[in-house]
Structure 1
């Protein structure tokens, strides 16, 4: 049975502690917008997977109760930064498997100011679920006083630079592109435009990554209504995007055997998930028009170009500098501004990517619109690890 995204919604992503709202207010806003977009009511929803990383158990129920007290099952989902796409995947599986005709996937986050610790919620390094990942980094690069996530991705960047000759300017070009794209996104946390020189001149977080190459902590929520083909026909729903292919991959020995941070931060996961998603969709990267990918740090966008098959290993820096990943190029990558500029409330990120792609495939993205977009790809990854790749096709 096919599954379709019938409606999407999101809040604006905000700097933590700057807006007078609670996480349930975010969910009411994003979930209500997605239902309105689909032309449905919460009473039509049969199950709700809802993702977050920083609130207590059953916070999902507390948030969803703002939409209605209908008694439907609510699943609390936590998969680090891949939480939002994981909620979408659960919704898709419920529909494709025939268990439900209408599922609401939600993601939200109410975060603290400042950088993340060794895990999604900080805390003791040794007890962190990602201690093995950081251990690989420490063995090769040491462990400094900088934010741990910035360290591990910066280490991956240095390895890529040493092996392939990738330059600081190419890394900065990724960030400059995404900041430029976000200027047209009313949902983005930041809308300032920066040139490569500005990115390079920004405060160094951990070499070679400057502040403007790092995604910020953010508050916000996003949602998607997933329906069956039968339900869509019965309700005469329009504006659908088919979930043509989707896959999740988790760590294997490949993530750790090389001792390379390029592998530890998830390039093998992304490659495996992409391969499976393409196979299920019957499509390849050559068929994709628009991409929302997980640029938590600028280097991760380069690593993901390679994992998705957009270029050969080592060629991603040149691809970033060639103009192939912006308007007028082969693909438009992160028209929303990506995590770097749109923001990164962990539980909401994957579903915000979905919202952007659905708007693109409908031709509703206003100044961000990718001309003639018919196939979109979302890539959402969480350290620890999970990578979800979703291929959406316009109906």
Structure 2
């Protein structure tokens, strides 16, 4: 029988423009881990295993990232799963607890990025996204914009052609998420945009303008994962956020065989991942209160609405325009500001989602608080490819015989 797992504490640094803080990565990690441990009310000496995720750092940086926190000799596993790295580290930390291998684990993600990190190359060299690029270049060629911007802008154009999605609907995603991030002191961007400002900003590629694209960022985030037994024995029951269900999927032939850029950028992975999580939990998407999803570009939020089942295929643009995914709507999506406005240090993103949802479910999100939030969903996507979907439930462990399935 598997153990139930809980996030006992979470923390993150402010996400910044690369180089803004002029500190080495162990400092960023130490800040995020220190916050997570304090949030959980435990010491680093109680941690039994750690998974540390990053994409653009040196080999085995996970060990060095934690050495200034403590030299306790625990196993440290280095994780790299492109943009899904942070959630993959969380998955490992949770599986160690769920499998009975540890009672207290740590998941960490961090990144210090450069402008050259996301350029990519169309020249036939084997890369993590060569299959994705082969579909794109066969139909659209390869331009001068950053590689990921090209992939997603072609998905946006396809969505517009197939479903009538408008540039105003794409821009509405950016307006919403920048509005949300204005309430988030840890976000890289904290100013609001009007629809006209988004539409008239600097073009990046195709229909996407700069406020619709996630920036390169520096930052770190961390989560402490514990067993139910540890939570009860150490007085953490009232603040332990349950990891109800979690899955990681990778690409199948469905991502490439149709020639659809919407499929190339991960829609089939998202559909499979969320179906697995909802089936395992017996919960429906309508039960969810708050969602952090992978809006690396505005179009991906719209595509992900549809893949998660918030609306029918082709209806994502209308959904965001209706206000259904902001405060006062059916769900609050990306209350943190999302990747577009909170920032996107690749290794940290999935754990920043975890931190935001942990704070939401503990009623600690300040101006961003979603009233009455009980169930939350995180969606973290990495091309090359991986998709992690995680379902969280608000604290409900109260006594030794308490029922954590209360909703």
- Give TM class, smaller chain: over 0.9
TM-score, length of structure 2 as denominator length: 0.95
Asked if residue 57 in structure 1 is aligned to residue 59 in structure 2, the reply is yes
Other structure's SS at 1:223 match? strand
The structural deviation recorded for 1:123 is: 10
Deviations 1:164-204 (A, max 9, x none): 00000000000110000000001000001001111000100
1:361–1:393 contact (8 Å) kept in structure 2 = yes
Whole-angstrom distance in 1 between the partners of 2:128 and 2:344: 20
2:56–2:117 contact (8 Å) kept in structure 1 = no
Other structure's SS at 1:57 match? coil
Whole-angstrom distance in 1 between the partners of 2:153 and 2:209: 10
The structural deviation recorded for 1:125 is: 5.9
What are the within-5 Å matches in structure 2 for residues 1-395 of structure 1? 1-113=3-115, 116-118=118-120, 126-237=125-236, 238-395=238-395
Whole-angstrom distance in 2 between the partners of 1:340 and 1:279: 30
Other structure's SS at 2:127 match? coil
Other structure's SS at 1:257 match? coil
2:84–2:346 contact (8 Å) kept in structure 1 = yes
Whole-angstrom distance in 2 between the partners of 1:294 and 1:234: 36
1:115–1:147 contact (8 Å) kept in structure 2 = no
Other structure's SS at 2:51 match? strand
The structural deviation recorded for 1:340 is: 0.2
2:122–2:142 contact (8 Å) kept in structure 1 = no
Whole-angstrom distance in 2 between the partners of 1:50 and 1:334: 24
The structural deviation recorded for 1:142 is: 1.5
The structural deviation recorded for 1:127 is: 2.7
1:133–1:264 contact (8 Å) kept in structure 2 = yes
The answer for unaligned runs of 5 or more in structure 1 is none
Report the count of equivalent residues: 392
The structural deviation recorded for 1:115 is: 6.4
RMSD in angstroms over aligned alpha carbons? 1.1
Whole-angstrom distance in 1 between the partners of 2:271 and 2:265: 12
Runs of 4+ more than 3 Å apart: 122-125
Residue aligning to 2:404? none
Other structure's SS at 1:300 match? helix
Other structure's SS at 2:312 match? coil
2:122–2:137 contact (8 Å) kept in structure 1 = no
Residue aligning to 2:398? none
TM-score, length of structure 1 as denominator length: 0.98
Q: Say if 1:125 and 1:46 are closer, same or farther in 2 by CA, change over 3 A.
A: farther
Other structure's SS at 2:165 match? coil
